[in-house]
């Protein structure tokens, strides 16, 4: 059963496992949406994902429980009323302890390598604020607060902006091999916090603790958790 982090008549926020795609891949196999019937929880309709997380990314995923809620939540993303906090493990230690990456992003593709996002002056504006949390064995746990929400934003901004890719990233990093030669099963990125403002109602607030595979690298749950983020997300695209 998928852990539920927040529930009311409009919304569910679930803790998505890393490595599980939200939608079923073309080649088939397990997917999160196959479990949506079990998340009705007495409601007539299955919940619908409002935004996207990459297959490897774990953590907070917002589901709408009815069409009106889906419209309102989608609008909240568009109007910058959603804030997100991510934790990622960098495959190295940055020289600075905090900063802001502002690199516009554009999508490219080729028959040989498939598609990916690259920094490009004529791309869509993308801004990510980051802060170093902890260092363990040559790896760094970093908090990311995306100000925009472009596809693969955090992954590209880590690799091309900070200059160190996320551990395990097969596209923008060294892939599944860790610094000690151990196999890394996924890109180490976790959607730790989500806050959505709602007119006339209390905001949706959810926090997903640091997953076991990140803790196994020696990192502890950061103090304070997810409280009042000061940077709002801009779009409903996947930013990881």
Residues acting as catalytic residues: 54
| 3-state DSSP of 63-117 | EECCHHHHHHHHHHHHCCCEEEEEEEEECCCCCCCEEEEECCEEEEEECCCEEEE
Beta-bridge partner residues of 140: 90, 135
| 3-state DSSP of 184-221 | CCCCCEEEEEEEEEECCEEEEEEECCCCHHHHCCCCCC
């Amino acid at each position: 059963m998928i852990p539920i982090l927040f529930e009311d008549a409009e919304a569910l926020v679930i803790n998505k496992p890393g490595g599980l795609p939200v939608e079923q891949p073309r080649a088939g196999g397990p997917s999160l949406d196959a479990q949506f019937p079990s998340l009705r929880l007495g409601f007539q309709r299955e919940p619908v994902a409002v935004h996207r997380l990459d297959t490897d990314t774990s953590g907070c995923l917002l589901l709408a429980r009815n069409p009106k809620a889906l419209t309102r939540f989608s609008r909240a993303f568009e109007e910058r009323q959603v804030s997100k906090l991510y934790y990622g493990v960098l495959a190295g230690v940055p020289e600075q302890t905090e900063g802001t990456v502002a690199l516009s992003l554009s999508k490219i593709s080729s028959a040989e390598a498939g598609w990916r996002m690259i920094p490009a002056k004529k791309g869509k504006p993308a801004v990510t604020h980051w802060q170093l949390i902890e260092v363990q064995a040559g790896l760094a746990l970093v908090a990311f607060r995306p100000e925009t929400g472009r596809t693969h934003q955090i992954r590209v901004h880590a690799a091309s902006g900070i200059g160190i890719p996320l551990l395990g990233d097969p596209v923008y990093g060294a892939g599944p091999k860790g610094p000690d030669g151990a196999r890394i099963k996924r890109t180490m990125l976790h959607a730790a916090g989500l806050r959505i403002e709602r007119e006339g109602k209390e905001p949706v607030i959810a926090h997903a603790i640091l997953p076991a595979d990140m803790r196994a690298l020696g990192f502890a749950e950061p103090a304070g958790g997810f409280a009042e983020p000061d940077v709002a997300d801009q779009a409903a695209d996947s930013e990881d």
